[in-house]
Structure 1
Amino acid sequence: MSAFSAIGEETEVESDDYTPKLEPQATWCPGCGDFSVLKALKQALAELGKNPDEVQLVTGIGCSGKLSSYFESYGFHSIHGRALPVGRASKLINPELELIAAGGDGDGYGIGGNHFMHTARENHDMTYIVFNNEVFGLTKGQPSPTSPKGQKSKSMTPHGNAKAPIRPMSMALSAGATYVARTAAVNPRQAKEILVEAIEHDGFAHVDFLTQCPTWNKDAKQYVPYVDIQDSDDHDEFELDDMRGAWEAMRETEEALYEGEVLTGRYYQDERRPSYQEEKMERGDMPETPIAEDYFDESHDWKRSYDIIDKHK
């Protein structure tokens, strides 16, 4: 019998099925935007009919890293900046699992920035949610890669941040991500819809999720009012598979944020490019049966990794 017999079962799933029985109560600060990520993710997976046994959630370090503690599924709380390589490995071992990685803007765009770039470049089939609150919250308010220039903090930049912020969506697009979107904690309906699309997408889906930090980044407030670019007549229309149009819309969005205008929505989606896993299967570089199932097969004849596929001619 398959070790993952729950995968593909047609069952009715409710969002509460993703609430752990042992540690259901999240302990983020009151008013933290992370609560909205947790709720939207539960709702999205329930809408897709995924049960907890079909999902693997890998998180990094920081306030966002607690997500795996408050979420009922297979989980892995990795070290700082390493959620993506851990997630890539688990997806290669068992491609049938729905893989979701999550981390903060410091964890994902700073310490894990190299992994972010190359995971997008290789187009691994996963959803990457980045909690973007423009600050290192868990370590008491240091500026992060997305902190605006001039932002002050008591711990490191009392005279103001001297560095310009990175443009995370533009980075994802230029690196090779095949789905790029931005949403905000104050827009729960859009957040759920975008996460549904990202999870359904075959390839690397990057969701920049604006999450207010009322404790250490009071300047950002709650990222309101927000504007959905797909519903606004004030912004040029563009096709989601148009890279040039997406690039221009992303640049406008990323610049507007630091001028007080919050733009959100879908920016890019490429359904034509195969995922990394699909490429490897087509080349014969991955076994047809998930390697993870071999751990539960007592009759399996274990081989060294280089014996799993045919040797190079």
Structure 2
Amino acid sequence: MSAFSAIGEEREIDQNEFTPGIEPQATWCPGCGDFGVLKALKGAMAELGKNPDEVLLVTGIGCSGKLSSYFNSYGYHSIHGRSLPVARAAKLANPDLEVVAAGGDGDGYGIGGNHFMHTARENHDMTYIVFNNEIFGLTKGQTSPTSPKGHKSKTQPHGSAKDPVRPLSMSLSAGASYVARTAAVNPNQAKEIIKEAVEHDGFAHIDFLTQCPTWNKDARQYVPYTDIQQDDEFDFDVTDRREAADAMYDAESRLYEGEVLTGRFYRDDRPSYSQEKQSTGEMPETPLAERYFDDDYEWERSYDFMDRHR
């Protein structure tokens, strides 16, 4: 019996299956937007018919990193800014596994910004959820890459002199093939966007606005919000890169003016990294992970590769 026999099993899934028995109740602060991410993720996976054995959740450091403790699936709690390389390796080794990476705005847009850029550029088939609360929460309220200019914090007591990063625009320019923004205050949209991201073949980036009532009291609660797919003012083609770029810039500018625009901004159906590598013959048809359970597979050891280059 293979360890991957659960993958592809078709049955009705209850979202409570994703609630762990050891630590079922999340301990984020009351009012934290992270609860919205957890609820939306559970609902999305259940509605997609995924069971816990089919999912790997890789998290970084920060309040968002606790997500893997409260979500019952395969999990890996990586170090700061390093969730994406771990997730990439897992997906390449076992393409049938549904891989989700998660981290905060400091984790994803700051410390792990280099991994974010190149994972998007290479279009690895995974979903990346960034908890964007415009602050470093776990370390008690320092300015983050998305904190607005002028924001006062422990590290910028006189106000930040820096313009915030534009995560949607950054994602598009790096090469992500699915880019969306949602918010914890919009749970139905959040669930539907996560479902679309998981089903997308390629790198799907979700900028998830999560309010922090403890360490970022000056920040908005991201309400009221406007769903750009439901408002006639925002009629643009999500498959057109130029139109998407303009819509993203507009949304990122309005956020700091008090207007929250959420929805799908871009989608490109180009081949994923794995598909590209398989088309050139550089990636084997049999996943590396499955070879561990194939008694007839003849392993190639490192010294075999070394001999070829002597």
Q: TM-score range by the shorter chain?
A: over 0.9
Kindly report which structure 2 residues correspond to 1:164-183, keeping only aligned pairs within 5 A, or say none: 164-183=163-182
Residue deviations 1:249-308 (CA, integer Å, cap 9, x gap)? 00000000000000000000011x100011111111112111112223445432136969
Structure 1, unpaired ranges of 5+: none
Q: Which residue of 1 aligns with 2:2?
A: 2
Q: Which residue of 1 aligns with 2:157?
A: 158
**In structure 1, C-alpha distance between the alignment counterparts of 2:91 and 2:57, rounded to whole Å:** 11
Q: Which residue of 2 aligns with 1:209?
A: 208
Q: Which residue of 2 aligns with 1:115?
A: 115
TM-score (norm. length: structure 1): 0.95
Q: Is the 8 A contact 2:220 2:258 kept in 1?
A: no
Q: Which of 247, 250, 272 in structure 1 is aligned with 2:248?
A: 250
Residue deviations 1:159-178 (CA, integer Å, cap 9, x gap)? 11111100000000011100
Q: Which residue of 2 aligns with 1:31?
A: 31
Q: Which residue of 2 aligns with 1:296?
A: 293
Equivalent position SS for 2:248:
helix
Q: In 2 relative to 1, CA 306–195 (structure 1 residues): closer, same or farther, beyond 3 Å?
A: farther
Equivalent position SS for 2:149:
coil
Residue deviations 1:79-116 (CA, integer Å, cap 9, x gap)? 00000000000001001100100000000000000000
| RMSD of equivalent CA atoms | 1.5
Q: Is the 8 A contact 1:227 1:262 kept in 2?
A: yes
Q: Which residue of 2 aligns with 1:262?
A: 260
Give the length in aligned residue pairs. 307
Q: In 2 relative to 1, CA 92–257 (structure 1 residues): closer, same or farther, beyond 3 Å?
A: same
Equivalent position SS for 1:43:
helix
Equivalent position SS for 2:242:
helix
Residue deviations 1:205-231 (CA, integer Å, cap 9, x gap)? 000000000000011131111001111
Structure 2, unpaired ranges of 5+: none
Q: Which residue of 2 aligns with 1:90?
A: 90
Deviant stretches of 4+, over 4 Å: 305-308
Q: Which residue of 2 aligns with 1:147?
A: 147
Q: Which residue of 1 aligns with 2:186?
A: 187
Q: Is the 8 A contact 1:214 1:221 kept in 2?
A: no
Q: Which residue of 1 aligns with 2:60?
A: 60
Equivalent position SS for 1:218:
coil
Superposed displacement of residue 69, structure 1: 0.4
